Structure formats: C-alpha cells, structure tokens
Amino acid sequence: MAAILFGSIGTIVETSELQRKAFNMAFKDHDIDWEWSRSTYRDLLSKSGGVERIESYAHSIQQNVDSKAIHLSKSERFQQMLRDSSLTPRQGVADVIRNAKTNGFKLAFVTTTLRSNVDSLFHSVRDYLIESDFDMVTDASQVVRCKPSGDAYEHALRSLMEDRTTSIAIEDNVDGVTAAKSKGLHCFAFPGINTAQHDYGHADHVVTQLDFDEILHQLCDTAVN
C-alpha cells in the first residue's frame, strides 16, 4: 500500500487571493489602517500561520495589535467566502485523487489549519470532491505544533500505518515542504500564485500541475531506494 499526502488547503484549491482579501476585510473590521498588497502578502507567506503573519507585519511597522482577534475575524471572513463559492480544484488534483482511489492508494489531507477552514474548503469544492475521498483529514486540534514542525506528518503516517518509503507529500509553501522533509518524506512542491517565487530548493520536485503517473513513478523509486 502507498499513500499520497496533500499538505494544505492550497494544494487542493487556489485560495491565496481570497485569504488576502479576508485579511484586509478583518483589518477594517478592527479599524486598523492596513491593506496588504499582493506583493506584501507574497512576502508574508514565506512563513506559516495567520497570527504569525499579523504579528510579523505589526512588528515591522512598530505597531501593537490584537493579532489573535484579527485572525479570528479573518478566519470568519474567509470561511464565509468559501461557503459562498463553488471553486475548482487546482490542475491535476481531481485526477490524482481519482486515480489514487482506483489504484487502492491511501489519501490524506495533512493540514494544520482550523477545522472550520477544512469544513468550508470541502463545501467550496463539493462538486468535485468530498471529505470522504480521503482516508484521513487532520487539523490544528490534532497536533501540538503546527508546520514547519513535522508533527502532523508523523501523526498521519502513524494513523495510516505507512512510512516515508511508501508515501509522497504535496505542499504549496516552504514551511510545508520543511515539515514533510523533516520526516524524511519525498515531497512535491506545488506552489500557488502567491508562493511561486519562494525558494523550494529543499523540495524533491517543483511542479505547476499534478500528474498521477509522475507521483507513481516517484513512489516506486522511493520504495526501491
């Protein structure tokens, strides 16, 4: 048996600009005179965690804000936008999931985002895939440390009864790749529109679309080596 591990919302569907919009709406909700441009947001995406991004930006302009309250508002805004949307999975995602299921592979969604974000994601792509397509779905409540810690991957591999030689990770950001590689996983970097310029030198492959045959080939090589 083998497993394909999708590592974040962004590996399933492109939501980066929705998230940036949600941040900017949250700033207005809290009467904060910030507006993140696409360039600013791209730079902030080099690290995981919305609270951490807010704190990093506030520190850079020497301003004190309630980062957790702002992030809660951002999450609510983002979830509402997802619930109001019908989104299409990124190129190759639906095909990989379909072929994985047909060929008896295990599938996991190994994210450390909020459970409410996970629910909203699956609602937004309901015309193409559903949560039960995955053998396992994680969220922030299941790990002590979020990415770039590899705790979520360790939890997933243990639960699926797989190991690094029988599994492939797919990540769309640098911290996600770091998390996967910390557990010895072969990792495809699948950057989104706002993370494509980041340095993925530690990934095994960098791709602009997913291809099941390529993943299968790498799984075979990983198992042999």
> Rounded mean pLDDT of 182-188?
97
| Predicted pLDDT of residue 1 | 78
Per-residue tokens: 164: 């690094």
Do 157 and 210 form a contact (C-beta atoms < 8 A)?
no
Q: Provide the pLDDT for residue 134.
A: 98
pLDDT of residue 180: 98
What's the 3-state SS for 3-24? EEEECCHHHHCCCHHHHHHHHH
Q: In terms of CATH, what superfamily is 16-83?
A: Putative phosphatase; domain 2 (1.10.150.240)
- 221 pLDDT tier (thresholds 50, 70, 90): confident
Tens digits of residue pLDDT in 88-103: 999 999 999 999 999 9
Q: Is the per-residue pLDDT at 223 higher than 80? A: no
> What band does 219 get if pLDDT is binned at 50, 70 and 90?
confident
Tokens 């990540």 identify what position? Answer: 171
Average pLDDT over residues 189-204: 96
Percentage of the residues of the chain whose pLDDT score is greater than 90: 92
User: Residue ranges per domain, the chain?
Assistant: 3-14+88-224, 16-83
Q: Which residues lie closer than 8 Å to 68 by C-beta, 6 or more apart?
A: 51
Domain 3-14+88-224 adopts which CATH fold?
A: Rossmann fold (3.40.50)
What mean pLDDT comes out for the span 11-28? 98
What's the mean pLDDT in 192-211?
Answer: 96
| pLDDT for res 133 | 98
At residue 225, the pLDDT reads 62
User: Of 62, 57, 73, 69, nearest to 21 (Cα)?
Assistant: 73
pLDDT at residue 143 greater than cutoff 70: yes
